[in-house]
Amino acid sequence: MKVLAINGSPHMDEGNTAIILNPFLEGMREAGANVDLFYTRKLNIGPCNGDMSCWFKNPGECGQKDDMQILYPKFRDADVIVYATPVYYAGVTGPLKNLMDRQLPLHMLGELGAKRQKIVLVSTCGAWEMSMFEPLLVQMKALYTRSDGNSDFVGALLRPGADGMREMMKTKGRGLVEGILQAAKEAGRELVKEGKISEEIQKQVSRELMPRDAYYEAAKEMFEQIKKSMKE
Ligand SMILES: Cc1cc2nc3c(=O)[nH]c(=O)nc-3n(C[C@H](O)[C@H](O)[C@H](O)COP(=O)(O)O)c2cc1C
């Protein structure tokens, strides 16, 4: 099984998104998958210029010769595509959106999903509420569950309240966060072995780390301290 994973966080392996993505990919590797991981931050990928030359002038070919040229064959070959992103204003990060838009030449030739592909979303957000992921889920489902399409949206690993995870790792809440990382790894194994990620495992990745009020109270205290230090 060939997996193409794109991490759209500017923080790459230091970010919250990688805290969930990396054990997920590890689980897939352990189960025998061949995983290729790219970081949008390291890639030079410009926005689509919308001239449609990839459809009407040079079908299937993008006129922009940047790092997208490295990814085109990888998108064609992948059995599984993993989009990983922090939520930025209720959507994917700008660089990841650029990369997604630039898949247009593959759609022209029907090459994206020429073989049936599985699509996974991995995302983290600052808000405590799961509802923050809804726009992203709508986008992914609209793109990847079309009746005339050739791809299956097979699950999402969504971690709300992600800004609390690192601090919790330093406290007695550590065990809870570790349980989430174990679930992310198990999701990777499941996907390779069973072709999907169970609802149960997806729920474990999203499960509550602390009550809503305690989370926002901790955030408020942090902001107060920052403001105080600015005044000093
Ligand atoms: C520009 C920007 C926009 C953001 N927008 C949202 C948002 O709309 N909703 C939310 O819950 N968190 C938002 N966040 C917080 C991030 O989604 C959250 O901190 C995420 O876990 C960061 O992941 P990373 O460390 O992998 O980059 C935003 C952060 C930034 C920098």
Shortest CA distance to 85 belongs to which of 169, 168, 157?
Answer: 157
Higher model confidence: residue 223 or residue 147?
Answer: 223
pTM for the full predicted model: 0.96
Q: Which ligand 1 atom lies nearest to the CA of residue 10? A: 27
pLDDT per residue over 195-209, tens digit each?
999 999 999 999 999
Q: What are the chain's domains?
A: 2-231 (3.40.50.360)
Mutate to test the pocket of ligand 1, among 12, 17, 39, 125 (most ligand atoms within 8 A of CB): 125
DSSP 5-37: EEE--TTGGGSHHHHHHHHHHHHHHHTT-EEEE
Q: Which residue's entry shows tokens 């790792």? A: 169
pLDDT per residue over 24-48, tens digit each?
999 999 999 999 999 999 999 999 9
Query: How is residue 23 written in tokens?
Result: 């054990």
Those residues with Cβ within 8 angstroms of residue 13's Cβ, 6 or more apart along the chain or in another chain: 22
pLDDT per residue over 67-98, tens digit each?
999 999 999 999 999 999 999 999 999 999 99
Q: Three-class SS of residue 154?
A: strand
Cα Rg for the chain, rounded, in angstroms? 19
pLDDT per residue over 105-161, tens digit each?
988 776 555 678 999 999 999 999 999 999 999 999 998 887 667 889 999 999 999
